[in-house]
A and B are shown apart, each in its own frame.
Chain A
Amino acid sequence: MTQPWYKDIYRRAVVDQHITDANADFLTSFDAEHYVGMIRRSNAQAMFMYAQSVVGQAFYPSKVAPVHANLKGRNLPQEVIDEARRHDLKVVLYMSLVWDTWACRNHDDWKVKDTHGRGIADDISSTATHRAGLCCVNSPYRDYTRDLTREICESFDVEGIRMDMTFWPRPCYCRHCRRRYNEEVGGEIPEIINWEDPRWVAFQRCRERWMAEFAERQTKTALAANPDLSVEHQASSIPHEAGWRFGVDSRLAMQNTYLQGDFYGGTIQGSLVRKLFYNLSPNRPVGFETCVSISLANYTAIKSRGLLEAAASSAIADGCAFIYITSIDPVGTLEPTTFERMGEIWGRTQRYEPHMGGELQQDVAVYYSLNSKCNWADNGKHVEGPGLAASSSHTDAVVGACRALRDQHIPFGVITDTSLDQLSRHKVIILPDVLMMNEEEVSAFRDYVRQGGRLYASRNTSLVTRDGHRQNDFMLADVFGVHFSGETVETFTYLAPVEATDPLFAPATRRHPAGLAESQLIVRPNEDLTTLATITLPYTVPADAITFTSLHNDPPGFRTAMAGIVRNEFGSGSVIYVTSGIERHEHLSGIFLNLVRELCDDFSFEADAPPVVEVTLFDQPDRSRLLANLVNFQDVFPQVPIHDARLRLALEGRKACRAILLPDGEELEFEVNDGMAEIAVPRFETFAMLALEYE
């Protein structure tokens, strides 16, 4: 059986081509030989060629979609495919879903509508949304895209198809959505957000299901036309900061051959999403995309070499393909500098590719509930009203947990509900303020702990069902060893150590406990558990504007006996439950990590390296070796090189034979102490890959 095309394709290129025909010169200088020549200059192995764009026009003689006016009979994708074939380049065709300016401007009935029945893109005060018309997947637009997908997949002989923008730009109240909601749930779609109102939550679950169903229809259409195609839907929407609005959960992932998405956030975002994709993707490698320019809006400004190399190296460290995005000039030309810069970088990084692969070591798994990407602070607000939360409290907690684990070099991964049957792979599982859970999740985590697993859970975890029913008690109350009793009125609170746990909290003390800008849940502990911290409340209620203690802050005043952190033994396992989302707060990351270490302190690796150096470890049993990656990713470039990093790899009963620096194979000295092989990592600027061979 032949290997799928994407299996060893780690270098991929996207040239954005959302070009209108507003000017008669646009795309008239497009030259496939020049185009493919540029892609080759970048050392790319695969490319994404636009068959159709967000503008809505096709770049080939389509019978379904309008054709770009300046083509004059040309078929740009075919020209590129022909040229690419001559150079053994893989080609994936691009098409846009939901975002289609032409369709939106010509079909009022297809538009995503607000609660007043206005097309979202009709708001000409917003140039961005107006340029990109937004179509509803419940409207007849779905048939249009099906026909277009079929035409594209039948017309071209390529490796795959990429469907971009498979998400809800925002909640839609068009007549088609209203009708479906009425048929499937009954009544009108609610306009007031309330995550504890089953009707509102039903709307959200419908949106997720409708989007997954739309994606499935598209995927099936593509595969019916050509079963050998790989199919992708834009996957950056899964962990997107827009949260619940995009209406995407793990079901969308199942409609992909592999996950790939474009990201523009910081280093922790990249690290998190790659680990999420690693576990969520139906196949590997997954793809991490970002633009070569400093932003999509300023495409002539190219990122520095150092930044691009760090981004590309990070992808390698997580076992990912790296995909750069650049933009075509409106007339159809490409600027060589971009491609030369990527060619230079990939010229260096491609030497590591033969060594990639294996199983990522994820001693600690951070659980990301894709159905909890909301914020209860929005409850009671209008769906289009001002003041909606900018982020999801659960996602913030996930990010905070990952950041702390990464910075302290604890092997971690990110899992979702698709991994519930594999929980035993992990030594510790983190449930970071998981806002909504279903019985399947609850039962999986209970069994995990019962059989010896170690669980960290915070705040609202297991208090509300996935369909929006608030419970009287935690669904995991037996596992946590505490029962829900209420919530503090105070929105700035403190956690104070008990005598035995002072070291876990240093430099915070009982007199000066750790403060956090959130309330805490009040819980009733079982008698046989261990309290690790209690809640201290401020002297006065922070919301009281008249009676207060201190101008700038709300000092701790009342030491309560209320449990703030507890440890419970359940079955063969252990649990730490925290009444607040401390992992969200960077200044409390030390306490969070100490709690994780209370649960487990024997990890697959340890590292003495600055927090900006991320370490990942893969086991490659087929090659009898461990593969360690270190990426130096600082905020300012060029970076300060790393001289004195040390790595300790757990042998777990294996015998270490040889340590080498890849890709050149330079042998490194190592020492074995307490079951760990310790290696001094030679000086590196951006990336180091080491292998420890064992028997």
Chain B
Amino acid sequence: MTWYQKAWRRGVLDMHITEDNPRFMTQFDPQRFVDLMLEARLQSVVLYAHSHVGSCFYPSLIAPVHSGPDGRDIFGETVALCHENDIAVVGYMSLIYDTLAWRAHPDWRITHSDYQGHSNPGRYGVCCPNSPYRNYTASLAGELAAGYPLEGIRFDMTFWPGICYCPHCRQRFMQEVGGELPTVIDWFDPRWTRFARKREEWLVEFATLCTDAVRAVDPAISVEHQSSTFAHPWRFGVTTPLAAQTDFLQGDFYGDILQGSFVRKLFHNLSPNRPGGFETSVSATLSNYTALKDEALLRCKAYAALADGCAFIFIDSVDPVGTINPLAYQRMGRIFEETQACEPWLGGELQQDVAIYLSTESKGDFADNGKSVGEAADLHSRAPHVEAALGACQALIGHNIPWGVITRNDLDRLDRHQIVVLPNVLMMDEQECAAFREYVRGGGKLYASRYSSLVTSEGHYLEDFMLADVFGAQYAGETVESFTYIAPAPGHEPLFGEGYSRSHPPGLEDAQIRIVARPEAQVPGELVLPWTDPADPWRFSSIHNNPPGRYTGQAAILHNHYGAGQAIYVAGDIESSENCHDLFINLLLRMQPAWTFMSDAPKAVEITLFHQPEESRWLINLVNFQQALPNIPARDIQVRLRVPQRPLRLLQQPAGRELPFESHGDGVSFTLPELETFAMLTLEYA
């Protein structure tokens, strides 16, 4: 077993400290730090060898060495002490973000599209991985790996902080594609799209260079690249191939509850090895590090990670002089004492009846088409495909449906899932389409929305969907109207949920694809347009809104049987709009009426289910994570499991308290009397 397979409790001590004051880092005490880690019950630590500042905390021969320790190798001393105390050490090294390198090497700088200005000349100096900087980092990584008996190395910031137009990038593009780098975004222009694909490719190549530099020294050292960026917008240039350069995925997140749940499900499937790691700061924000997060919030986050089978990693910041706030470690120690008790039951395969497909090549926004890379402040801020994916996840959690997040790496195992959701996948290629077609032909159920399969990954806007045969649809254009409606076709009102009717259909704050239904497809929903074009400032129907007025009779939702499977295609991305979530769920239920688990748990409670066949048991986790904390306990939660095995015992862990359950022909049902934050149950079977 590798170190990370047994390390569920991890820590990071941010040490991005400059030398701008002679006292800085003079008081760092490795023994004190290790004592605090022990108090926090840490099993591993990410220890800074080299920071964003660009200086090292070990006597590097390649990079500048921080003067604060005054010749001491505080990195090496800490590594030794950690090992004495059975704490695994991951050496931290910053990529791309390197202020001293940026200041010393103008030629390495990431450069703006006007070819004049350089990236932020402030604290954060960012270097281009196509410049000679790449050789510098590879050498540094090799030096670090060779210098210390590390369990792992973490490369932070392996992403593009901006769109680089430096001479090195221009030259590579010229050589590999030809011509100048495009400066106008247009996802329907193959040259622009080629640039985006090149950036993704170049980044993976750079990551490979760094990974290889470590593995060349010692293949047993685990390698991580910062993984928080897989769902970030296109400008970060991060796609699924980056994951292959990482032994396990781990990243730091500062978003909401849904973001956490989403990325952990993504890591579960995308990570080359498990567990994935979910990091967040112990402070309210990184910029306000003396303000500690509330203990109830940290507890919820730690349990939520556990419920998804992830390690939890807290990030603290060192004081500039090198001292550390013990309160953070005491707080985390209390939390980890609780979560540690649950660790023996972790593991297994997450049950993902519904798989949300995340296309990392689709993180652009077609609304940006025609804008200059450098012109608009609000450029690239949205990723409609990711928003749709997140919306789908939110709906599934709210309805207690088992789900997961998959990527193109999972195309060869789609049959694990009852339903695959393609949430407004902006760009797809033949390989993806072939896999989804085969999945449906073989009996799978597919939900797809809006642009899915209409634009190729190379930026070709097609005349028809690549999956037209599967959808039962023919492409017929897009609506001019940017506020549109989908009305139930006669007889399909119940699908749309309470409150909607044919005369008052759900509205979408966006355009829809116009489609023609193939004869074999059923049409449960129709396109309705507002009385007037919302963009017309002169002629309108109502001041505040754009009421439905023109019932087109054209299909907006199609239900098609294809091979042994079925597909539902929706012309708008209804999963993005919370007001359409009932419709979205009802469409899934139309194809798949029952799930591996069902529950009446409140929406703030998420349930996950893992199968552990080697232990002959199911692991059921329930996390109560409310927006306002402390949580209000949820009571009398009913859970129904549909599992084929004969149940023996239902136990609430870690206490091992037996819970009554009722057996059914196809599973069990039980009631959880009270849930404050976390409950872990095991259902043992014969």
Chain B residue contacts of A514, Cβ below 8 A:
290-291
Residue of A nearest to B281 (CB): A552
Q: CB within 8 A of A23: which of B541, B545, B604, B633?
A: B541
Residues of B contacting A299 with CB < 8 Å?
507, 544-545, 547
Q: Which residues of A contact B124 (CB under 8 A)?
A: 551
- B14 proximity list for chain A (CB < 8 A): 550, 552
**Is A472 engaged at the interface, CB distance under 8 Å to the other chain?**
no
Identify the stretch in A199-207, A345-353, A633-641 within 8 Å (CB) of chain B at 4 or more residues: A633-641
What residues of B have a CB within 8 angstroms of the CB of A511 in the complex?
Answer: 319, 323, 325
Beyond A297-B509, A297-B545, A557-B320, whether A551 also contacts B626 by CB under 8 A is no
A327 touches B20 (CB 8 A): no
Mask, B630-644, CB within 8 Å of A = 1, is 101111000000000
Residue contact A337 to B499, C-beta cutoff 8 Å: yes
| Chain B residues within 8 Å of A549, by CB | 17-18, 20-21, 24, 320
Q: A640 to B628, alpha carbons, bound, how many Å?
A: 12
**A-side interface residues, number (CB < 8 Å):** 74
Can you list, as one digit per residue, whether each of A640-668 has a CB less than 8 Å from chain B (1) or not (0)?
Answer: 11110000000000000000000000000
Q: Does B53 interact with chain A (Cβ within 8 Å)?
A: yes
> How close is A279's CB to chain B, nearest CB, in angstroms?
27
Interface residues of A in 317-373 (CB under 8 A from B): 327, 329-330, 333, 335, 337, 341
Contacts of A41 in B (CB 8 A): none
Main SS of the interface on chain B? loop
- Contact indicator B503/A512 (Cβ below 8 Å): no
Mark B564-601 against chain A: 1 for CB-CB distance below 8 A, else 0. Answer: 00000000000000110000000000000000000000
User: A555 on the interface (CB 8 Å rule)?
Assistant: yes
Interface membership of B327, Cβ < 8 A: yes
Q: Which residue of B lies closest to A299 (CB)?
A: B545
Q: Which of B489-506 contact A (CB under 8 A)?
A: 498-501, 503-506
Given the known inter-chain contacts A300-B507, A553-B288, A637-B603, please indicate yes or no for A545 contacting B535, CB distance below 8 A.
Answer: no
Asked whether, in the complex, the Cβ of B549 is within 8 Å of the Cβ of A640, the reply is no
B503 touches A335 (CB 8 A): yes
Task: Tell me the bound Cα distance from A509 to B627 in angstroms.
Answer: 27
Cα–Cα distance between A16 and B543 once the two chains are bound (Å): 10
Pair B602/A551 contact, Cβ less than 8 Å = no
Say yes or no for B121: interface residue by CB 8 A criterion: yes
Name the CB-closest residue of B to A639. B602
User: Which residues from 2 to 28 on chain A have a C-beta closer than 8 Å to any C-beta of chain B?
Assistant: 16, 18-20, 22-23, 26
A18 touches B327 (CB 8 A): no
With contacts A26-B541, A555-B317 known, is A545 near B122, CB below 8 A?
Answer: yes
How many angstroms from the CA of A18 to the CA of B546 in the assembled complex? 11
Interface pair B507/A298, CB less than 8 Å apart: yes
Please tell me if A124 contacts chain B, counting CB pairs below 8 Å: yes
In the complex, what distance in Å separates the CA atom of A330 from the CA atom of B52?
A: 59
Report Cα–Cα, A445/B11, bound state, in Å: 51
User: Chain A interface mostly helix, strand, loop or mixed?
Assistant: loop
Q: Does B431 contact A (CB under 8 A)?
A: no
**Beta-carbon contact of A551 and B53 below 8 Å:** yes
Indicate the member of B24, B287, B578 with the most A CB atoms within 10 Å. B287
Chain A residue numbers with a CB within 8 Å of B290 are: 494, 508, 512-515, 555-556
Q: Contact: B541 with A330, CB < 8 Å?
A: yes
Are B540 and A512 in contact, CB atoms less than 8 angstroms apart?
Answer: no
B501 contacts A337, C-beta separation under 8 Å: yes
- Given contact pairs A514-B290, A636-B627, A553 touches B542 in the complex (Cβ within 8 A): no
B284 within 8 A of A: yes
**Shortest beta-carbon distance from A642 to chain B in Å:** 6
Output the least CB separation between B155 and chain A (Å).
16
Q: How far is the CA of A685 from the CA of B535 in the complex (A)?
A: 43
Within 8 Å by CB of B504, from A55, A300, A515, A545, lies A300
Q: Does B465 contact A (CB under 8 A)?
A: no
Chain A residue contacts of B433, Cβ below 8 A: none
Question: Which A residues are CB-close (under 8 A) to B505?
Answer: 300
A327 to B541, CA, bound (A): 12
Which of A517, A552, A642 has its CB near the most chain B CB atoms (within 10 A)? A552
Q: Is A294 an interface residue (CB 8 A)?
A: yes
Within A286-321, the residues touching B (CB, 8 Å) are 294, 296-302
List B154-204 residues whose CB lies under 8 Å from chain A: none
Name the residue of chain B whose CB is nearest to the CB of A99: B543
Bound complex: CA of A640 vs CA of B320, how far in Å? 44
What residues on B are CB-neighbors of A330 within 8 Å?
531, 541-542, 547, 549
Nearest chain B CB to A288 CB, angstrom units? 19
Interface centre among A341, A539, A637 (most CB of B within 10 A): A539
Question: Chain B, 274-311, contact with A by CB distance < 8 Å: what is the 0/1 string?
Answer: 00000000001011111110000000000000000000
B548 within 8 A of A: yes
Cα distance A521–B501 when bound, in Å?
A: 59
Roughly how many angstroms separate A129 CA and B475 CA in the complex, as a whole number? Answer: 35
B499:A552 contact, CB within 8 angstroms: no
Q: Kindly state whether residue A610 has any CB partner on chain B within 8 Å.
A: yes
Question: Could you give, for residues 18-61 of chain B, a 1 whenever the CB lies within 8 Å of some chain A CB and a 0 otherwise?
Answer: 10110010000000000000000000000000011100000000
Q: How far is the CA of A23 from the CA of B24 in the complex (A)?
A: 73
User: Can you name 19 A-B residue pairings with CB atoms under 8 Å?
Assistant: A16-B542, A20-B542, A131-B540, A298-B509, A300-B507, A333-B503, A507-B331, A515-B289, A540-B21, A545-B121, A549-B17, A549-B20, A549-B21, A550-B14, A551-B52, A552-B287, A636-B602, A637-B603, A640-B634
| Smallest CB-CB A-B distances: 7 pairs | A545-B122, A551-B16, A18-B543, A301-B579, A130-B537, A296-B544, A635-B627
| Interface set of A (CB-CB < 8 Å, partner B) | 16, 18-20, 22-23, 26, 53-55, 101, 124, 126-127, 130-132, 294, 296-302, 327, 329-330, 333, 335, 337, 341, 492, 494, 507-509, 511-517, 539-540, 545-557, 587-588, 610-612, 634-643
Q: 16 other contacts beyond A511-B325, A638-B603, with CB at 8 A cut-off?
A: A53-B543, A127-B535, A130-B537, A131-B537, A294-B579, A297-B509, A299-B545, A492-B288, A514-B291, A545-B123, A546-B122, A550-B320, A553-B288, A638-B602, A640-B604, A642-B632
